[in-house]
Amino acid sequence: MQGFSKHIAKHNISIPENQTFNVLDINQDAFAYSITNEDTSRCFGSVYIDPSRDESFECEVYFWICKTLEIERAHIQNLLSDWLRHTWRFKQCKIY
């Protein structure tokens, strides 16, 4: 699947200091991503995509970001929602 950083570039979305999402671990049930700088030398947070426990959602998404990343939490939520809808084709995601 197309990575989050490619999604950001494709839609000309700017994130401070060229932050990108890189895959850390993938299995058949859940996905974990790391928010890093472009050369992956610094980690600013993580994103976890899990199957939903609530049947009204296709997945549940949890994330954290460091205080050093100068971006609003709501902006990350919007970027994740857009990426999950366009790249993963999820229609109903619960983002915490």
What are the tens digits of pLDDT across the range 2-18?
455 555 556 554 444 44
How do residues 16-27 score in pLDDT, each as one tens digit? 444 444 444 445
Enumerate the domain spans of the chain: 4-95
pTM of the model: 0.68
Q: What is the pLDDT of residue 93?
A: 92
The CATH-assigned architecture of domain 4-95 is 3-Layer(aba) Sandwich (3.40)
Q: Which segments in the chain show pLDDT lower than 50?
A: 1-2, 13-26
Q: What is the pLDDT of residue 17?
A: 46
Q: Which contacts qualify for 7-15: CB closer than 8 Å, 24 or more apart?
A: 7/82, 7/83, 7/86, 7/87, 8/79, 8/83, 11/82, 13/79, 15/71, 15/79
